[in-house]
Amino acid sequence: MSSIRNAALMLLAGALLPALAACSDEADTPAQGTVTAEASAGLTVSNARVVLPPVAGNPAAVYFDLSYEGAPGVTLDAVDIAGAGMTMIHDYAESAGKMQMVMTDAVPLDAGTPLSFAPGGLHVMAMDPSDALKAGGNAKVTLTLSNGMTATLDAPVRAAGDER
Ligand SMILES: [Cu+2]
């Protein structure tokens, strides 16, 4: 997997860390908040961030923007975060007139249809965030697709009261 990842991923520097632009050939050094897969894989993740819960011990949330230009029939199956426990992909759906959070096992990726994981919509919940996740720090976030491709990036960690 690691060799596939090294071959498939080309990292771009995130807006927050322009200095990393000089390291764009080092596939093992994720740029903050942003990762881009090469054209064959076609996945671009940007604006990733982890938001800590207002109450310690509650789940943290992970948000990002995603665009996909690869082969059809691929889904986003998992989003894992270092320093937290089990994660789930959630969405909101209307049920009996109320918006309720629902589990989403696999999110279909359609070329040309960007997805936004954001408050009030698709999001990732991470159980048991540990003390390793500190506001102002970074967390390693790994996306796994149904075709076996993974993309790992460093996402800034925000406090509950910060802008999401
Ligand atoms: Cu949720």
CATH of the domain at 123: 2.60.40.1890
With a cut of 80, say whether residue 23 has pLDDT above it: no
Residue range 21-43: mean pLDDT, rounded: 55
Does residue 40 fall inside a structural domain?
A: yes
Q: Calculate how far, in angstroms, residue 63's C-alpha sits from the geometric centre of ligand 1.
A: 11
- CA 94 to centroid of ligand 1, rounded, Å: 14
Give 20 or 117, the one with higher predicted confidence.
117
The rounded Å distance from CA 3 to ligand 1 centre is 33
- Quick check: is 35 in a domain? yes
Compute, in angstroms, the gap from residue 139 CA to the centroid of ligand 1. Answer: 19
Q: Which strand (E) or helix (H) includes residue 47?
A: strand 43-51
Residue 40 clears pLDDT 70, i.e. is over it: no
Domain count of the fold of the chain: 1
Q: Distance from the CA of 132 to the center of ligand 1, in angstroms?
A: 21
Q: pLDDT grade, residue 31 (50/70/90)? A: low
Q: Ligand 1 centre and the CA of 105: distance in Å? A: 13
Q: H-helix or E-strand containing 154?
A: strand 150-158
pLDDT for res 107: 96
Q: Is residue 161 part of a domain?
A: no
Q: Does a structural domain hold residue 115?
A: yes
- Ligand 1 center to residue 156 CA distance, Å? 19
Residue 21 has pLDDT above 90, yes or no: no
DSSP class of residue 24?
T
How far does residue 124's CA lie from ligand 1's centre (Å)? 6
Q: From the CA of 23, how far away is ligand 1's center (Å)?
A: 35
Q: Indicate if the pLDDT at residue 2 is higher than 50.
A: no
What pTM was computed for the model?
Answer: 0.76
Residue 140: pLDDT above 50?
yes
According to the model, what pLDDT value does residue 32 have?
A: 66
Instruction: Go through 83-121 and write b for each residue having 16 or more CB atoms within 10 A of its CB, e for each that does not.
Output: bbeebbbbeeeeeeeeeeeeebeebebeeeeebebeeee
Question: Across all residues in the chain, what is the average pLDDT?
Answer: 82
CA of 62 to the centre of ligand 1 (A): 10
Residue 105's domain comprises: 2-156
Question: Does 162 reside within a domain?
Answer: no
Separation CA 159–CA 68 (nearest Å): 29
Q: What distance in angstroms lies between residue 6's CA and the mean position of ligand 1's atoms?
A: 31
pLDDT score for 116: 97
